[in-house]
């Protein structure tokens, strides 16, 4: 092959792959920018790895999802780059009145992506005015009945005791810890009744948080 033909050949190969190289970065930017539409008064961080098969957490979500000033982020449906997008979360949390953690109670804690978000994002935000003075509410569901979570019960500890790390992080960062909403007994015959009562309470509490006094605490 002559030099001129060879040069033309390799130029064509480069151009063939060039659109593939260019294609990725804009998609990432579009995805990151889309988080800015969720500047709402109540930010719900949902940590559930299997929402499609959820009964309780789906019902809880349905109770609040149509409230105008609520932004819901299902961490298990987000790209890792968005879960750890510091700039976006700084704007979102700074704009909000309150933060809600919603999750099923797995091994006395939340599913792992909430911890990932706390380690990657909340660790920084906790040192800023973005969260100071704002309510932090935990909403969780348990498989066991209410009586299991007592000092003499099957699980030995109350849910309030087991949620102390979340309360401690709220206190450390200057947030205002809210009485958790706990829906017990998802593995019992009372599940349907407990879910309905919990969903109604959840909606009421979220509406109260929307009207709390920390709106627009920008920094």
Q: In this predicted model, what pLDDT tens digit does every residue of 81-137 receive, in sequence order?
A: 999 999 999 999 999 999 999 999 888 889 899 999 999 999 999 999 999 999 999
What's the pLDDT score for residue 185?
A: 86
3-state secondary structure of 11: helix
Model-level pTM?
Answer: 0.80
Banded model confidence at residue 45, pLDDT cuts 50, 70, 90: very high
Residue 110 to residue 101: CA distance in whole angstroms: 9
> Percentage of the chain surpassing pLDDT 70?
80
- In sequence order, the β-bridge partners of residue 159 are none
Query: What are the backbone angles phi and psi of residue 171, rounded to the nearest 5°?
Result: -65, -45
CATH class of 39-210: alpha beta
Average pLDDT, the chain: 84
Q: In this predicted model, what pLDDT tens digit does every residue of 194-205 receive, in sequence order?
A: 999 999 999 999
CA 60 to chain centre: 14
Contact 212, 97 (CB under 8 A): yes
What's the pLDDT score for residue 79?
A: 94
- Write out the two tokens for 178: 């809210």
């Amino acid at each position: 092959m002559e030099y001129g033909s060879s040069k033309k050949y390799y130029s064509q190969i480069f151009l063939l792959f060039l659109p593939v190289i260019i294609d990725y970065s804009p998609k990432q930017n579009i995805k990151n920018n889309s988080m800015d539409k969720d500047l709402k008064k109540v930010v719900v961080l949902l940590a559930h790895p299997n929402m499609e098969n959820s009964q309780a957490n789906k019902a809880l979500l349905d109770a609040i999802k149509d409230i105008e000033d609520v932004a819901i982020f299902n961490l298990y449906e987000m790209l890792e780059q968005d879960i750890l997008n510091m700039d976006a979360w700084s704007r979102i949390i700074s704009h909000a009145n309150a933060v809600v953690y919603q999750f099923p109670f797995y091994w006395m804690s939340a599913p792992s992506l909430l911890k990932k978000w706390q380690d990657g994002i909340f660790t920084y935000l906790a040192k800023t005015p973005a969260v100071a003075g704002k309510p932090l509410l935990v909403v969780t569901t348990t498989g066991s009945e209410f009586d299991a979570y007592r000092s003499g019960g099957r699980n030995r500890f109350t849910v309030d005791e087991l949620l102390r790390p979340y309360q401690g992080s709220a206190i450390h960062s200057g947030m205002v810890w809210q009485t958790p909403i706990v829906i017990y007994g998802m593995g019992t015959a009372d599940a349907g009744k407990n879910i309905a009562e919990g969903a109604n309470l959840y909606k009421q509490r979220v509406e109260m948080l929307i009207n709390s006094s920390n709106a627009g605490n920008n920094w």
